[in-house]
Amino acid sequence: MTRRRTGRRTGAAGALTLVLLAGGAVSPTGTPVAHAEPRACTEDQVRYVADEPSGLARLGARRAWALATGRGVVVAVIDSGVSTTNAHFPAGSVLPGRSFVGGPATTDETGHGTAIAGIIAARDIGKRSGVVGVAPAATILPVKISGGESGGDEAEQRAANLARGITYAVSAGADVINLSLSTSSDRRDVRSAVAAAVGAGVVVVASAGNREQATEVKDGLRYPAANPGVLGVAATTGPDEVTEDSIHGPHVDLAAPGDTVLTTFRTGGDCVLSQQGQSTSYATAYVSGAAALLRQRFPSASPAELSHRLQSTASRGTRTIRDDLSGWGVVQPYEAMTAVLDDTVAGPVRPGGAPRASLPPAVSTVDLTPAPDPRAPARETVLWLLLGIAVAVLGLGMGRMLRVPRGS
């Protein structure tokens, strides 16, 4: 079972710690980059990491690709934009999208949206880089709701533009919407936009919340993850422990890797994103990628049916138990695509299925009254007989002693 991580939180709220791990990098030409210490990822130098992202192995992505790669599926990334100058996003992999903050949606000043898009659908560029998305053939629809030319506070921009961004994504043909963001406010406009998206057949996936970025750091509901029909996602470490930064609550449905994530970096190259303050953002992207695989595999399934598949087949310690840390467990797309699900499968109730009755435990009364012994009369007879024999023997012995002459 997943557990809460007990390590110390580090880093400033909202900031990314960008680290290129030593020994795993190559230059744009494929020549290894030699360095003894971790080096910061910077805009002015393009580096690639030859290692495969560990999250792909945890999700069993390569096994899942034998069944689906996300081809024909459109995933909307409602975020800070997606940089199409990154080599992992060749022509046709990212749509023009729309920006609500000025400038094209295919630019990204913060790098957050590009990192999310890379986890979902980065293209394989050969031996120079191991980075590839969970759904490597899916198409990204960038919807830019923060950053851009208008400047201003990003949190306010996201809040003001989120509902419009969701509505646009649905109208532009999104099959999956990734929302790597959260708030403690249940906005009516966002709730309505999410309901319309789910009603239109779109799978909506949202962050369960990052403690270090939240104004309210206590556990509890976060939105849009807590809105009906949305999959809320917590982040885990390599050992499947929920990160300390993940906010816990009944809105958590699934978990996915979110700590030390290797993905696409801004305008070019790769980077390991090691800051916990963004952990559920990356975990959300992994689940969105898994949802894209399922959407290709089951094109006519409803969002509720796909969500049920993802939750029922998630990896967890006890099949019948959900908790507020990791929901139903770590997402497993291959199992979600191959499982035969009915009312007998442990886990969440399937859409349209009969609720499982919660029967009280059976209580029985133990009668401690001694039962009658059917052999008691026989035992009593034998006891008296033995007692009689003992008395007779004792009497004979005493009589013999009295008959012995005193002088002998």
Question: How far lies 280's CA from each of 87, 210, 255, 306, 345, in Å?
Answer: 25, 6, 9, 21, 28
Contact 251, 205 (CB under 8 A): no
Q: Does residue 281 carry a catalytic annotation?
A: yes
Q: Does residue 35 carry a catalytic annotation?
A: no
**Of 93, 180, 274, 281, which one is the catalytic site residue?**
281
Show the CA angle centred on residue 41, arms to residues 40 and 47, nearest 5°: 125
Question: How far lies 128's CA from each of 44, 49, 85, 132, 268, in Å?
Answer: 19, 7, 17, 12, 13
**Of 80, 83, 108, 112, which one is the catalytic site residue?**
112
Q: Does residue 112 carry a catalytic annotation?
A: yes
| Continuous segment of H or E residues that includes residue 299 | none
Sheet with 254-257, strands from edge to edge, namely 98-99, 139-144, 74-79, 176-179, 203-207, 230-236, 254-257
**Of 79, 245, 259, 323, which one is the catalytic site residue?**
79
Convert 194-243 into a string of H (helix), E (strand) and C (coil).
HHHHHHCCCEEEEECCEHHHCCCCCCCCCECCCCCCEEEEEEECCCCCEC
List active site positions.
Answer: 79, 112, 281
